[in-house]
Structure 1
């Protein structure tokens, strides 16, 4: 008969801080925690910037009265907008219309002498749709007087002219209604439009929903 010897139990060694596997595990956990903290911190980064309070028209000067301060996440495009930290640029006007609550893009701002369009008032009798508001566009057609006390065939003079302002009006007795339409006109188109007005041409504006010029 053989006598079996009892199996000797394997004794587990107490983990040591000098164990490389333990150190690698700790480092991985720490790296994961740091990454999560950095991700959460970057996602919560906001910037104080300015936005248009009620819309800023072309040529209108920027002041504390026509802007609001808002917090937004801009990330890599922060340099394209006016921040509260940089402050409102002095003696600066809008060279493009900035809509209500829209952030102030730096490319839409400039000095007065940088304006290449100027507002001109047109009095029109045709009704415009309610969608025709400041910032949208109209096509301006002109019919010059002819020798028969009438008007020649209308021609498209200003395609896609931007509306700066609309003001409804009426005659003294209220018998007729009209709209004073302020549109933005480039210097190159100005002589033709002013000449048509001086020659008592019939000027009509047609809303251009496409907005292209």
Structure 2
């Protein structure tokens, strides 16, 4: 082997110096990559506390902290749209939309009582309700007014697509048969007709509305 060849091989085998720019650039790239992964994992793991409902909260029901529990969630940029322990529960708030069990509380679902555009009214029905008629579902309310023959006239649709706020099992005065008290949400302009029908001892029937919308 010639002297020139030996010198060239020695140059190739020479250990890189800490001052070698290529080595420094490589170290910087590795550090930047590690820092990026750490930041990404940290951002993905950022959670915040928010309020969720212990049990379903009906429209018009007053909001108190004993009806809520805290959950850890990742809300990110939408955190401001939900109720959190950090912002607290304002006094006098009621639900203006139904909130299901363990659901987060959107701020738009809460308001003052005077902001309610629908109010719950109790309607007692004697017939069995379909299984689909549950809180949050929509029903049609039909009424048949008493006639002069001690019977009832032709039923008419009074409340199309009314939302069910709550269901309570009841019984007749003698306890001989079961009845159901259906809390339906009624708009102010519909209220006189419903209250008038109840005052006139009308027969009221509730029918599940699968379309879910008023007409």
TM-score by length of 2: 0.89
Matched with 2:17 is: 16
- Paired with 2:58 and 2:204, the residues of 1 have a C-alpha distance of 24
Could you list the runs of 5+ residues in structure 2 that have no partner in the other structure?
none
Deviation, 1:190, is: 0.8
- Paired with 1:17 and 1:44, the residues of 2 have a C-alpha distance of 37
Matched with 2:178 is: 177
Matched with 2:128 is: 127
**Comparing 126-135 with 73-82, which one deviates more in the overlay?**
126-135
Could you list the runs of 5+ residues in structure 1 that have no partner in the other structure?
none
Q: Structure 1 stretches (4+) deviating beyond 6 angstroms?
A: none
Change over 3 Å in CA distance of 1:119–1:178 after alignment to 2: same
Matched with 1:55 is: 56
Matched with 1:80 is: 81
How many residue pairs match? The answer is 210
| CA-to-aligned-CA distance 1:19-74 (integer Å, 9 cap, x gap) | 33222212211111011001110111111010000111111121121000111111
Matched with 1:164 is: 165
| CA-to-aligned-CA distance 1:91-110 (integer Å, 9 cap, x gap) | 21111111110111101000
CA RMSD of aligned residues (A): 1.9
Matched with 1:94 is: 95
- Aligned partner of residue 183 in structure 1, secondary structure: strand
